[in-house]
């Protein structure tokens, strides 16, 4: 309860500060904080503006700050974010670099995986792919929710395209499919900071809300190969 209260006070302090999130990023830094594809209040009542500000400003921006610190003055700042992820993956001496680069990418992808008017089953080609790969949308939903519930540690749940087939996988901590050259269509963040202020320990309710009201099938459809 003390941690919960501290988090709320931290967010409130930020909200009262009047500081623009986007304007705090220095243009001299090679990696910039991407703007959210919607405003903080757009996902209410499913995800509160409070948790969006906390998640975006403190967590996403924090990973970005660390990445710029780690790459400053090195050859890493001369290549793309995706190249850093691929080249630092599976190298224990670059674990900190990988974690921060991957979390910047994962969070940017997560914001795009949600939409204020999202949720429910897809249509068109995406629905056909879902039915071909999982048997039905209902089976996809069950498998996705099960993967989210079964991720014991902090992590992510992904819908990934492999050739003509779609699969669901979970990854732990900062791990990401693009480190292995794979092609994700959307993701759900199941780190506690993504939902705890709104849902406490009820991860299942958060996952259900994502599927029913937030999942952005248009974004996933745009990534089909």
**Residue 172, beta-bridge partner list:** 155
Please give the Cα distance from 216 to 127 (Å, whole number). 13
Q: What pLDDT shows up at residue 215?
A: 98
Q: What pLDDT shows up at residue 2?
A: 30
**Residue 155, beta-bridge partner list:** 172
Q: What pLDDT shows up at residue 28?
A: 63
Encode burial over 111-120: b for 16+ CB neighbours within 10 A, e otherwise.
bbbbbbebbe
Q: How many Cβ atoms sit within 10 Å of the Cβ of residue 72?
A: 12
**For the whole model, what pTM was predicted?**
0.86
Q: 146 and 169 in contact (C-beta within 8 Å)?
A: no
Structural element, H or E, at residue 184 = strand 183-189
Q: What pLDDT shows up at residue 11?
A: 33
Q: What pLDDT shows up at residue 197?
A: 87
Going from the first residue of the chain to its last (225 residues), give the mean pLDDT of each consecutive group of 10, the final group possibly shorter: 34 30 49 95 96 93 96 94 96 96 97 98 97 98 94 90 96 96 97 88 94 98 96
Q: Classify residue 188 as left (phi > 0), alpha (psi -120 to 50) or beta.
A: beta
The domains found in the chain, sorted by start residue, are 124-222 (3.55.40.20)
* CA R_g for the chain: 18
Give the strands of the sheet with 183-189, arranged side by side.
165-172, 155-162, 183-189
Residues ≥6 apart with Cβ < 8 Å to 190: 148, 151, 154, 155, 156, 157, 170, 203, 206, 207
Q: What pLDDT shows up at residue 142?
A: 97
């Amino acid at each position: 309860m003390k941690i919960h209260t501290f988090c709320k006070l931290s967010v409130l302090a930020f909200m009262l500060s009047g500081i623009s999130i986007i304007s705090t990023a220095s243009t001299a830094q090679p990696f910039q904080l991407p703007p959210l594809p919607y405003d903080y209040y757009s996902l209410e009542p499913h995800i509160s503006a409070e948790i969006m500000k906390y998640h975006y400003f403190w967590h996403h921006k924090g990973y970005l700050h660390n990445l710029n610190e780690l790459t400053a003055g090195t050859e890493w700042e001369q290549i793309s974010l995706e190249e850093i992820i691929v080249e630092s993956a599976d190298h224990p001496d670059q674990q900190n670099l990988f974690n921060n680069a991957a979390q910047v990418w994962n969070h940017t992808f997560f914001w795009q995986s949600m939409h204020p008017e999202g949720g429910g089953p897809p249509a068109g080609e995406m629905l056909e792919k879902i039915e071909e790969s999982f048997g039905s949308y209902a089976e996809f939903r069950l498998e996705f929710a099960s993967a989210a519930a079964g991720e014991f540690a902090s992590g992510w749940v992904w819908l990934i395209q492999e050739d003509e087939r779609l699969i669901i996988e979970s990854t732990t901590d900062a791990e990401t499919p693009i480190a292995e050259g794979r092609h994700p269509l959307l993701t759900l963040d199941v780190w506690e900071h993504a939902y705890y202020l709104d849902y406490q320990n009820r991860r299942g309710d958060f996952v259900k809300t994502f599927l029913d009201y937030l999942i952005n099938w248009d974004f996933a459809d745009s990534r089909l190969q």
